[in-house]
Chains A and B, each alone.
Chain A
């Protein structure tokens, strides 16, 4: 089995690239697993897939412990794919008789699913860019390819647009996003994370991505998103989230600490010299923003209000 695990591991590593979203890479890997699988029962197939998912999650944790990407989206994407497999099977074959043609169909569907997931960013940008009107000031946070794609498309069609990005300590993600935007000529300002309140009165709207979209319509995203959302609400500034639908996760946290432990990597930051040992530092890399602070979510399923997210998940997971 180690051989098999290695193959999966390599496959996953190969699929991962800066452009590919983590869940999409995972789904492609899982498709590979199905293709190579010699299982003839559906139970066996599911078990194999679950094992592969676990493998990928462990790999994410061990390979890059200081990688501030949480694995929520990986888990949600894989859960969705698993659900797809079991539903398809329930619809078409029942508990046994998992033959070659079924497998082909499964593969075909899976590939289409992956394709759609890849184009979802394009769809989201097309949907959301109209919300960014001429002459508006946009405040954004972190480096989300989804939100950036939306802003870039908006920049193409609008006359004037200015962006303020938060620095995004400790990993300075804001600068990465700023570079991408200023390349197309959008006037960008990078501001201190602590200066969000200062800048919020000038902002017309806020856009961020999400690492995971939760069952109540809230999101998990880079730490600092929550405070931006609260300030936006205080200033009546609309707060938009751009997220693909495979990020919809079956989590319903009650507060910041209610997120699954293994999923929140730390983002260490260095204390200045001379700080005594007894002073502890702590920084999670993601935080939880509840649904009441979010105006709309742009997804490939359309522009959803937070309550619509729950509906989608209920419809999906609700039946046996």
Chain B
């Protein structure tokens, strides 16, 4: 029999799925009941949807072929490196999740988060070295948590106070907002005000507005406020879908506009007649330097030295692009970096990822550049979008690295003459945080020691481990 969904009419889901009849029968019943679903509430009371314990996420997604095919395309694209670069990977990932949240029928917030996690596992496993994918998965999870919790703490004290945790002691004070409905939620609800919705999605400004305990992670304040234990995500929340989709759309806008925001800082960072050194190619650095150079009338006059970044020599691409824009550019080989550093005013680097301690995972060879700059007291500025911020720690050079084909270093036809020689071609370098002087991000200028604060604003501690490969790096 069909049962009406507990949620409001705005929810597109009008049926609830079969849950009870045993695991074995599950697969067949899904496949055969793709369109019209029969329902049997054998477990009574609990809303159904994606149950991570008993179903494979792809099987569940087969009911929404567009989403499933989007997932499969993305997984294949990541594996084959057709989708590459943190920016592209992040965009596709977020798009996929928007469709998933919007189109698929999930029961409760907890089930949605399970589905998001399972899909995330697949994506991260497709390309573990692409940290931006995992970051976006964690951002979506955080969005869901945040929307869920603000739905229950924003003013409706009666329903909201009854969290299933020991935070029952907060219920009389819920209307005074003692810590909100559940674990680790450190928002400034102590005055009873509802948190602005926009604050959840990547706004450092929003977090600054919530004075204490910005973010959902644990904190001393949180501990004293009585937030222990995990939140129960099993309650139904009518507006959750549209709120989450709206927040994810905001995230997509943030991604899209990222470079535009970063460019605004260009003229403050670079001054006239300076010599800037950069390494390899990056669209963000390209846009940044071009913004500083400006037009013929208002532009700054400065020189750029580009280190070519062997073996792929991506620096050549950047140099040509800058020269076409009229910027005085010189290409040097990577070996000349130290020699040239004595005449350089600033180093501007891009990065593949920013890690939890404020360090960088950057293009192979960047560490030498940063070290040389440090030695000669040249400021190192890293230009990056915050979607590259990853809450994991790098334990050594191998943690987020991968070895690429040695053919780029030495072609296979030369190999005959070097029979017993091992050739290595690592993809990335780890740059410790003390070598970076400034980050210029879509949230403005930041110092490396501030990065940990942003982690709490974007990610929740329980979401750190998406896939098994993350456990090694947590």
Shortest C-beta distance, B239 to chain A (Å), equals: 28
Contact with A along B225-255 (1 / 0, CB 8 A): 1101000000000000000000000000000
Taking a contact as CB atoms under 8 Å apart, the answer to whether A319 and B212 are in contact is yes
Give chain B's interface residue range (CB within 8 Å of chain A).
35 or more
Among candidates B172, B173, B356, residue contacting A303 with C-beta atoms closer than 8 Å: B356
Taking a contact as CB atoms under 8 Å apart, the answer to whether A305 and B357 are in contact is yes
Complex contacts, A105 vs chain B, CB 8 Å: 169
Among candidates A91, A131, A303, residue contacting B178 with C-beta atoms closer than 8 Å: A91
B271 within 8 A of A: no
Taking a contact as CB atoms under 8 Å apart, the answer to whether A130 and B228 are in contact is no
Shortest C-beta distance, A120 to chain B (Å), equals: 10
Given known A-B contacts A133-B395, A315-B219, A304 and B452 have beta carbons under 8 A apart: yes
A116 within 8 A of B: yes
Taking a contact as CB atoms under 8 Å apart, the answer to whether A92 and B172 are in contact is yes
Complex contacts, B212 vs chain A, CB 8 Å: 315, 318-319
Shortest C-beta distance, A13 to chain B (Å), equals: 27
Query: Which residues in chain A, 103-129, are within 8 Å of chain B measured between CB atoms?
Result: 105, 108-109, 112-113, 115-116, 127
Shortest C-beta distance, B180 to chain A (Å), equals: 12
Taking a contact as CB atoms under 8 Å apart, the answer to whether A87 and B213 are in contact is no
CA distance A245 to B228 in the complex (A): 15
Complex contacts, B224 vs chain A, CB 8 Å: 80, 83-84, 87-88, 113, 316
Taking a contact as CB atoms under 8 Å apart, the answer to whether B217 and A245 are in contact is no
Taking a contact as CB atoms under 8 Å apart, the answer to whether A316 and B395 are in contact is no
Stretch of A43-51, A161-169, A195-203, A294-302 lying at the B interface: A294-302
Tally of A interface residues using CB under 8 Å? 37
CA distance A312 to B169 in the complex (A): 24
Contact with B along A55-81 (1 / 0, CB 8 A): 000000000000000000000000010
B453 within 8 A of A: yes
Complex contacts, B393 vs chain A, CB 8 Å: 130-131, 296, 303
A308 within 8 A of B: yes
Nearest A residue to B176, CB-CB:
A91
Taking a contact as CB atoms under 8 Å apart, the answer to whether A87 and B225 are in contact is yes
Taking a contact as CB atoms under 8 Å apart, the answer to whether B396 and A112 are in contact is no
Among candidates B178, B217, B223, B473, residue contacting A92 with C-beta atoms closer than 8 Å: B178
CA distance A305 to B357 in the complex (A): 7
A311 within 8 A of B: yes
Shortest C-beta distance, A58 to chain B (Å), equals: 26
A33 within 8 A of B: no
A239 within 8 A of B: no
Nearest A residue to B186, CB-CB:
A315
Shortest C-beta distance, B116 to chain A (Å), equals: 22
Complex contacts, B358 vs chain A, CB 8 Å: 305
Shortest C-beta distance, A203 to chain B (Å), equals: 14
CA distance A112 to B226 in the complex (A): 8
CA distance A301 to B461 in the complex (A): 9
A143 within 8 A of B: no
CA distance A154 to B216 in the complex (A): 28
Given known A-B contacts A91-B178, A131-B395, A245 and B452 have beta carbons under 8 A apart: no
Shortest C-beta distance, A100 to chain B (Å), equals: 13
A307 within 8 A of B: yes
Shortest C-beta distance, B188 to chain A (Å), equals: 10
Complex contacts, A296 vs chain B, CB 8 Å: 357, 393
Taking a contact as CB atoms under 8 Å apart, the answer to whether A109 and B226 are in contact is yes
Contact with A along B347-359 (1 / 0, CB 8 A): 0000000001110
CA distance A302 to B178 in the complex (A): 23
Given known A-B contacts A88-B226, A108-B169, A302 and B220 have beta carbons under 8 A apart: no
Shortest C-beta distance, B170 to chain A (Å), equals: 9
Between-chain CB contacts (< 8 Å), 12 pairs? A80-B220, A83-B224, A87-B225, A92-B176, A108-B169, A109-B169, A248-B220, A295-B357, A296-B393, A307-B452, A316-B221, A318-B212
